Structure 1
């Protein structure tokens, strides 16, 4: 595994292996809180991904007991960090700092996987929701917990959660601020897999590696087609599918994959005949 582009303060560790770029939130002493330093480090790392031809899948994970505990309550009390200044200043800081993460994950061309251990609450829950796929350890918990502190999601969680579980359930989770465990998160479709806590890193990386082995040009198109189709009419989705398929069918990547597939089949038949 090759370590690359680590943030200057070590809050986000970056490693590239087998086409999988792993970003590790690395501030366990404060629960990997999304303060200005963490936000800048994570945004900087994410904004480089689309331009990295050797990255085919992104995996976001964390060190420590928790995935991400959201905003720092002490900063809220003191009116410091992201919360410093007037209403206008805080709003602009949220737009220019915190929303960098939201925008870049929403525009990420390669598939993204989030490995959730411990608590993913508040903005930490929303960060997980922004990824394409979520894998949770058995001990993981999720909460849209903003109302417990007299707040709403300032990073876009309402948009992602509503599309994931529907408006009614999103309202229930938001208005109650209840904590749900990994099993309930899987039942609601928030996570796709629940694994033993000890296996979370290896299972998530195995899934990311499986995805990363797919033909890279087709992989990026497949992600875009699924995401765009979710909000499109059928005619628009069919038009996009036809255009993408034509580009791929006429491309060298597809032709090479077909040739490799047929050669592999031929070798298997020869070996079976021996």
Structure 2
């Protein structure tokens, strides 16, 4: 899928963008052997969305994952390196400045500000920050066997976008998923209203692209302003909760509990124990 508009989005490394017949297809991840972590792709997606907002050649956007995953969220290896750096008694002011407290909303705002329909073609697992991408889309099409959820708590971290799941699935379901870190299937996601429809994995992208073409043919102002009304509730939630969420996540990044949870995961062992309160 290529045309002249694609050239404007060819400078990315963690994502790939192709535009054809007014539909932009964004593929998450650069390496099909990895789980499409969001660590490197989030700033690229932010810049991409900001550019697409004023692009007259784009009437709809489809986001999918490379390989068998949509996105696994944060990179666990990066988490371990960060935890080890913070254990250095000399500190690391440069790293502290990169804590996602004051700029954590940049990505969400850029995505919510898109005027055109955005469809998440969740071809495989969408976890943590990967699920956040799907939740911020206007429509979610998901593979039946895909796993969705947020495992922040299992890594000793606060889930900063917890309120997005509560908005989409309701508070009781969100608490059950977020406090346990358990994942649900694509089929279950449809049952609880988290996704629009669940399909065999091989049909997810073609279905999303077909719907994108249908939406791209509709009156654009009506689409734009209907989205604005619907997204106002999400914007209000982001404004009310995002800074606290990212601030608390940043605090747990500094904890020994987080360092032990990550080490245990990477070393394929049970955690040695947590400090607790």
Query: Normalising by the residue count of structure 2, what TM-score does the alignment of the two structures yield?
Result: 0.74
User: Does structure 1 residue 41 correspond to structure 2 residue 37?
Assistant: no
Task: Summarize deviations over 1:109-140 as a string: whole Å, max 9, x none.
Answer: 22211011221111111221111110001221
Q: How many residues align?
A: 229
What SS class does the counterpart of residue 8 from structure 2 fall into?
coil
Q: RCO (CA 8 Å, sep 6+): is it higher in 1 or 2? A: 2
CA RMSD in angstroms, aligned pairs only: 2.8
Give yes or no for the alignment of 1:148 onto 2:174: no
C-alpha distance in structure 2 between counterparts of 1:116 and 1:230, whole Å:
21
The aligned counterpart of 1:164 is 168
CA 1:231/1:15 → structure 2, altered by over 3 Å: closer, same or farther?
closer
1:120-269 equivalent positions in 2, closer than 5 A:
120-154=126-160, 157-228=161-232
Aligned pair in 2 of structure 1 residues 95, 56: CA closer, same or farther (>3 Å)?
A: farther
The alignment partner of 2:58 has SS state of coil
Does residue 122 of structure 2 align to residue 119 of structure 1? no
C-alpha distance in structure 2 between counterparts of 1:121 and 1:69, whole Å: 5
Q: C-alpha separation between the residues in 1 aligned to 2:154 and 2:119?
A: 28
* Counterpart secondary structure, 2:33: helix
Task: Pick closer, same or farther for the CA change 1:181–1:39 going to 2, 3 Å.
Answer: same
Give the deviation of 1:231 after TM superposition. Answer: 9.1
Residue 128 to residue 55, structure 1, CA distance change in 2 (3 Å): same
Cα deviation for residue 226 of structure 1 reads: 3.3
Unaligned runs of 5+ in 2: 237-277
Higher alpha-carbon Rg? 1
Q: CA deviation at 1:73?
A: 0.8
TM-score if structure 1 supplies the norm length? 0.75
The counterpart of 2:28, out of the listed 9, 25, 33, is 25
Task: Give the aligned partner of residue 78 of structure 2.
Answer: 75
Q: How many angstroms apart in 2 are the aligned matches of 1:164 and 1:91? A: 32
CA distance in 1 between partners of 2:50 and 2:72 (Å): 23
Match of 1:64, SS state, is coil
CA contact (8 A) 2:159 2:178 kept: no
Distance 1:231 1:70 in 2: 22
